[in-house]
Structure 1
Amino acid sequence: MSEMDGSKRCSRCGRSLPRDAFAGNRSMKDGLQAYCRECAAEYYRQRQEAKGMSVRIRVPVPRGHKRCPDCGEVKPHSGWERNKSSSDGWASYCRECRAERNRISYFKRKYGLTPHELDDLKAQQMGVCCICLTAPAEHVDHCHETGRVRGVLCFSCNAGLGQFKDRPDAMRRAAAYLEGNSWKPILVAPGVYQLPS
């Protein structure tokens, strides 16, 4: 086979291949690259690895599906969110991986916690809320003034602290009220009232 019958010889592997096996290159006399597409890809991969970088391996994907670079699974488009700014119209990561990446980013940005640090915090509390000691610890509690993380609480205890606006004096009065202690001023003598502590 020769260039007359619609084929070209690759200067890297030496095979004679059809012209569509070569990418275009206007600076070459015949308008095609010297290496076939396979050899060009292999050459690129070798150069990147020599620099210490890795090249993603192309995986054949059926029509209506996309491969997630995070989990490596090929999923139908129903497992992806739309993204008008991307070239194919779909998000870069599948719904599950995207949700996990967003969760990790949220805890890092809001509390300065990595997933490992959050797991360590829960393990120190033995996985339970450090206020009620019954419900699982799921919500990070922090000081709204300093931003310092105090612990991991259940939803109810975390919401309760928020309702009391992180005021220990109000929480002490609430505890005294629940324990049956008086919350109203008590008449001790005529005109003398004892205020609750």
Structure 2
Amino acid sequence: MSDSPGATDKPCPQCERVLPLTDFHRDRRRVDGLAFYCKACAAARSVASRRKRGIAPQRRSPAPVGDGLRWCPDCEQIKAAGRFSHHLYQGQRPAQRLYGGTREYHLRRRYGIGQKEFDELLAEQGGVCAICGSPEPQHVDHDHRNGSVRGILCFNCNGGLGQFRDDQSRLAGAITYLRGTTWQRVLIHPGVYQMCSPTRGRPPSPSS
């Protein structure tokens, strides 16, 4: 198995096959440095997630495209590569024509919702971040396992969930850690508070 030193293969939990390590994408976040699923299963899961979010398959040329040529999905014709502009506006034209703008295109392509659904969800949250309550959040939070949209978050909260990998045990551990290290107001007498730290009085660490 790949968890053992010098391993040359690894099991995929989806297809239940034991495959060479080269059949797995690299993932530095995991202990063994490899993705959880094999490349084939990861690709199939990605396609299934995109379909569930309403994202249509990428359109491709029905005929082989030779050297020096490119297929235009807008007019569905094969043309000389020199006739294609590299300017950003060229890439924005289909988004503008099909979705009314790049923002709508981005939302539908990545999350399967439009600006209308975004605004409705944000209104349900009172116009603030679903976690910290900061006004006018702009980031869509979604479940990476199934692609479903969970809420609208500010930049910091959305990034924080990503850093904690949506793992509730990690988040709970962070809360426990803060409760044990952060100065807090403690009621010591009716109407009287004192700032206390749970670490107060501990002996210094060996490195201090």
Could you tell me the TM-score, scaled by structure 1's length?
A: 0.42
Bigger Rg, which one: 1
Larger RCO, structure (CA 8 Å, separation 6 or more):
2
